[in-house]
């Protein structure tokens, strides 16, 4: 059962329906996911959805899939978003909100959801609150993964990518068998420009500045769950579960 098939309603929006309904988990979670680049947010999203049965709703997946959808499968909001992306512009709040509103049935998914990439601004968060209230749905928490900037620099700064097969390695965490050479195709590993330490620091500063109003917004509503992202994926996952259970019983 592929994730793509399960999330067809999220990818296409409108009247599209998932071909396979996710099983009802023992406990339903409705969560928002936050975290800077390099904190391991993607890995945690995979683990949470696989083990808790929640549906991973990523706005990034919508944008990536939109490029492959036929014109008749794209909504006006999706066409508008593609236009901004092709020009290299940020997709504005209103367009992103229109895309989410087209997919409200996914928010009602009986298996719950893990929303990734939205909301990104307080305006989006306020509008999403209105959507949830209309559907009589409440968030269980907003997971905010945190890692000191030096740790993020070390993680991303050590990442090496193969330009041929796109495999990803790390100089200390996941080194190739031969230094600088891809294990799979023998290509020469490279460091992405935005993974260089100076670029990572700039990205982190931009992220923290833009995200602080959003974390403040959810903190005031008692929904923010800060999680230390240092350690193995399993350790961070267990920390996440403990934090969720603690906040639920509080």
Residue ranges of domains in the chain, CATH in brackets: 3-146+224-240 (3.40.50.300)
Indicate if 151 belongs to the active site.
Answer: no
The one catalytic residue among 5, 192, 212, 221: 192
- pLDDT tens column, 99-138: 999 999 899 888 899 999 999 999 999 999 999 999 999 9
Contact 37, 123 (CB under 8 A): no
**pLDDT tens digit string along 35-91?**
998 898 988 999 999 999 899 999 988 888 878 878 877 888 888 888 888 888 888
User: If you search the block for the tokens 């009602």, which residue do you land on?
Assistant: 108
The pLDDT score that the predictor gives to residue 248 is 62
Residue 20: per-residue pLDDT: 67
What are the DSSP E strand ranges found in 38-89? 55-58
User: For residue 160, which phi and psi values (nearest 5 degrees)?
Assistant: -130, 140
List Cβ<8 Å contacts ≥24 apart for 102-106.
Answer: 102/13, 102/14, 102/75, 102/77, 103/9, 103/10, 103/13, 103/57, 104/131, 104/135, 105/9, 105/17, 106/7, 106/9, 106/10, 106/55, 106/57
At residue 26, the pLDDT reads 79
Predicted local distance difference test score (pLDDT) of residue 24: 75
Catalytic residue among 105, 151, 201, 203: 203
Q: Which of 7, 30, 41, 155 is catalytic?
A: 41
Per-residue pLDDT for 154 more than 50?
yes
Name the E strands within 128-244. Answer: 141-146, 159-161, 168-170, 224-228
Q: Label residue 1 by pLDDT band (50, 70, 90).
A: very low
Catalytic residue among 7, 74, 155, 159: 159
The pLDDT tens digits for 182-239 are: 999 999 999 999 999 999 999 899 899 999 999 999 999 999 999 999 999 999 999 9
Residue of 101, 120, 201, 239 with catalytic role: 120
- pLDDT higher for 244 or 11? 244
Categorize the per-residue pLDDT at 242 as very low, low, confident or very high, splitting at 50, 70 and 90.
very high
Taking 80 as the threshold, does the pLDDT of residue 14 lie above it?
no
> Among this protein's residues, is 27 annotated catalytic?
no
41 among known catalytic residues: yes
- Dihedral of CA atoms 34, 37, 75, 108 in degrees, nearest 10, equals -30
User: How much is the pLDDT for 130?
Assistant: 95
What local confidence, expressed as pLDDT, does residue 12 receive? 78
């Amino acid at each position: 059962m592929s994730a793509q098939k399960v999330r067809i309603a999220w990818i296409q929006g409108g009247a599209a329906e998932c071909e396979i309904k996710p099983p009802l988990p023992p406990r339903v979670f409705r969560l928002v996911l936050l975290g800077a680049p390099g904190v391991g947010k993607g890995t945690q999203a995979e683990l949470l959805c696989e083990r808790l049965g929640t549906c991973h709703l990523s706005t990034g997946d919508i944008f990536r899939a939109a490029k492959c959808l036929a014109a008749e499968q794209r909504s006006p909001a999706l066409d508008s978003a593609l236009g901004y992306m092709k020009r290299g512009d940020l997709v504005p709040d209103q367009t992103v909100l229109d895309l989410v509103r087209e997919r409200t049935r996914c928010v009602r998914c009986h298996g719950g959801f893990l929303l990734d990439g939205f909301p990104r601004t307080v305006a989006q968060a306020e509008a999403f609150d209105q959507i949830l209230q209309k559907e009589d749905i409440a968030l269980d928490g907003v997971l905010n993964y945190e890692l000191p900037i030096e740790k993020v620099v070390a993680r991303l700064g050590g990442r090496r990518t193969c330009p041929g097969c796109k495999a990803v390695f790390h100089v200390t965490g996941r080194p190739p068998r031969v230094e600088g050479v891809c294990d799979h195709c023998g290509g020469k590993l490279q460091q992405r420009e935005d993974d260089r330490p100076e670029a990572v620091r700039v990205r982190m500063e931009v992220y923290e500045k833009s995200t602080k109003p959003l974390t403040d917004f959810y903190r005031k509503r008692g929904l923010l769950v800060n999680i230390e992202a240092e350690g193995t994926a399993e350790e961070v996952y267990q920390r996440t579960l403990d934090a969720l259970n603690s906040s639920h019983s509080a």
